[in-house]
Structure 1
């Protein structure tokens, strides 16, 4: 049964699609993929072209917008929009610590999740497109990992695309996970330096919190998360978004309270740190984060953890033993997270199996097809993006025929969220050749 609801200015309609778990075995097991159709209320009956939105991630459901929030304000002027919950997320067939045991043990869970990467998401999109549009191509808007999916789409099924708009999501065509993190750690260090330049008082605050954790051992937060020094450092993931430096500052300033037993981490700090660190709402982000880079038999082997050893300035023990500021880390997933986070702990062995897996399909992107591309493509590349390497993105932009870039330092990684109507309008104009 299909339900429609009204919100200010728009009509929302639930859409559920059945797709093969393994697209190479179309007669095998099937799963559900959910999409939320959004159309302007005064155009609900109009014959509009479709725009499909792929959220960042991996493993994140489409953002739950209300009315014409963010970029939807611009999109619904011209399009019928599909906000897709990528397989395993949101209202699609869910994959998390609660449901994955239905598959069996860790080996069976890992085999199942191997079908949840960009190539499978794109093949889902193609089945859905043919059902919704009657075969007409649609426009794809891909944010971050959604842009990775878009480049796979351009490589494998360009006939399904009328245009592609990418925000902060042009991947390297050939970099492995090790290459990605060797490029990432220096960017993170720059972001931390910029944060401390903005809030110099946070140098001492961060050192004090890390020293407290080093002295007293990991603290189990009120929500069950085990906060170690390394976990505290990982709060630096906030520094990749527009207001993240300010959010981190306010988090640090409320860290301690004095109790009869001495200084302790405050309930306020614990609550906010738990919310920032826990992957309970998006476990696939952690489980699949590195394997989105695995191609042609190359395992990831916990690349971020291994590569971190090449950057000793991130060693908290060395920083606390000397005078150096404590460095936060960024968007990286580490094995210890599966011990720290109750939502991830049951998936530790599954994640290990995915990290060592070698039987990945062929390359995710086809440089020869991309070099012959005829689909209009416009990409917003964030200058010194903490999450996606700018040099990698620009190299890929040069490799895709006809792709037009907008390179800017106006935003961090979330421009489409903080200034969505302007961002989408400019990308559409670039794709149409109006700029």
Structure 2
């Protein structure tokens, strides 16, 4: 539903609900926005967001606060469900009214998953629908709801990972809506194809894996034993997830977080229990592996993941799978033969994900159609970025496993006035792990305080 000027209206009859958490007042907001922004009078979808302000501020103080829009990483993840002033949020509410937006298709914003997507029709209709779930549509959503919340005033955007990709598109498409842009681990290449992204990614993943085995050499044999067990027994977890060797290798995605190596180590240490039938995978291990690997809570991450790199007529065509073939060191064979450590993999989506994960199996054909799509439009305007006058600061994590540092630095140089903070103190989750300090640093950069 839109008003006479094409702006989104709050959903009719939707109550505005406010409630409290320690130190915070939260207010739920729901909006209707066009599925296809080229057809503003067409089908509408719902967006959900939570406004967060510090409880110690009076009503007049709250009303005068500037807004900060938070865009979550992913794609496919809803905004954080914080409890009180966790991570960076406590620092943010000192200066802002914060909007935690569930991007379209995520969280409570018209969820897109194996249960809801059949409402669209078959795989072709589902793929056409999901083609509207990239950064360009997300930014246009933000620009439609901004006047409803700010009275037309620009706001500051904080983009984590994929949220940073959205922020760079925001600078390209609607910089008039921004007071400043803060980006953490999310400066995309402006022109790289998905193949370029993964050719840069696999060597980083190999370095993270080597560093893990250097830190925990006992995990070399543990990983081999688990992989051999999986090859011999082909277990299906209680959830229906088929834990293959390839799926087990993909636990390497955890190595991109600050505590990821330690988490992987503890997980491997408790993999087996002794039973009358011999060693078996422990129930606790199976539950933790399922939680780490299943896409049930964020299926769009898998289905549209490579689409975020599409910018021309070239299909993404399962890029991560094709490019992996150029890196035979990731094959499990030598490790299973006892000649090498088991290679772990990282942030990549493959066709086999749609075979092993029951949350993805019904979406395999939809994903195939998206992978074959050839009508992607460019997401970044180099000329506009070169003339940018919005204050921008970006935290770039040295050897970030998820976003290539070289790509990020080239993009930083292409955006006029962007200030960088390159650090090896944090991994990709620096905003969570060191949130108050990371946010404080970026705010100081855009305000010219450092």
TM-score in terms of structure 1 length: 0.98
Q: 1:37 aligns with which of 37, 51, 68?
A: 51
Hey, what does 2:105 align to over in structure 1?
88
Shift of 1:42: 2.2
Hey, what does 1:399 align to over in structure 2?
414
1:24 alignment partner, SS class: coil
Question: Hey, what's the Cα distance between the residues in 2 that align with 1:259 and 1:303?
Answer: 42
**Mapped pair 1:155 → 2:172:** yes
Hey, what does 1:191 align to over in structure 2?
208
CA contact (8 A) 1:11 1:44 kept: no
Hey, what does 2:9 align to over in structure 1?
none
Could you give the per-residue CA deviations for residues 290-322 of structure 1, whole angstroms, max 9, x where no partner exists? 110011222110000110010001000133235
TM-score in terms of structure 2 length: 0.95
Question: Hey, what's the Cα distance between the residues in 1 that align with 2:424 and 2:154?
Answer: 32
CA contact (8 A) 1:173 1:396 kept: yes
Could you give the per-residue CA deviations for residues 146-199 of structure 1, whole angstroms, max 9, x where no partner exists? 000000000000000000000000000000100000000000000001100110
Shift of 1:130: 1.5
Shift of 1:212: 1.4
Hey, what does 1:294 align to over in structure 2?
310
1:306 alignment partner, SS class: helix
**Larger CA deviation: 58-67 vs 311-320:** 311-320
Hey, what does 2:35 align to over in structure 1?
21
Question: Hey, what's the Cα distance between the residues in 1 that align with 2:58 and 2:303?
Answer: 39
Shift of 1:69: 1.0
Hey, what does 1:255 align to over in structure 2?
271
**Mapped pair 1:424 → 2:429:** no
Deviating runs (4+, > 6 A) in structure 1?
Answer: none
Shift of 1:223: 1.8
Question: Hey, what's the Cα distance between the residues in 2 that align with 1:224 and 1:397?
Answer: 44
**Larger CA deviation: 41-50 vs 344-353:** 41-50
Question: Hey, what's the Cα distance between the residues in 2 that align with 1:228 and 1:94?
Answer: 28
**Larger CA deviation: 175-184 vs 314-323:** 314-323
**Mapped pair 1:240 → 2:240:** no
Question: Hey, what's the Cα distance between the residues in 2 that align with 1:231 and 1:429?
Answer: 42
Could you give the per-residue CA deviations for residues 33-63 of structure 1, whole angstroms, max 9, x where no partner exists? 1110000112251211100000000010000
CA contact (8 A) 1:313 1:319 kept: no
Could you give the per-residue CA deviations for residues 378-403 of structure 1, whole angstroms, max 9, x where no partner exists? 00000000000000000000000000
2:56 alignment partner, SS class: helix
CA contact (8 A) 1:199 1:249 kept: yes
CA contact (8 A) 1:140 1:163 kept: yes
Question: Hey, what's the Cα distance between the residues in 1 that align with 2:26 and 2:221?
Answer: 49
Hey, what does 1:282 align to over in structure 2?
298
Question: Hey, what's the Cα distance between the residues in 1 that align with 2:338 and 2:358?
Answer: 33
What's the C-alpha RMSD, in Å, of the aligned pairs? 0.8
Shift of 1:259: 2.1
Hey, what does 1:129 align to over in structure 2?
146
Hey, what does 1:12 align to over in structure 2?
26
Question: Hey, what's the Cα distance between the residues in 1 that align with 2:220 and 2:306?
Answer: 30
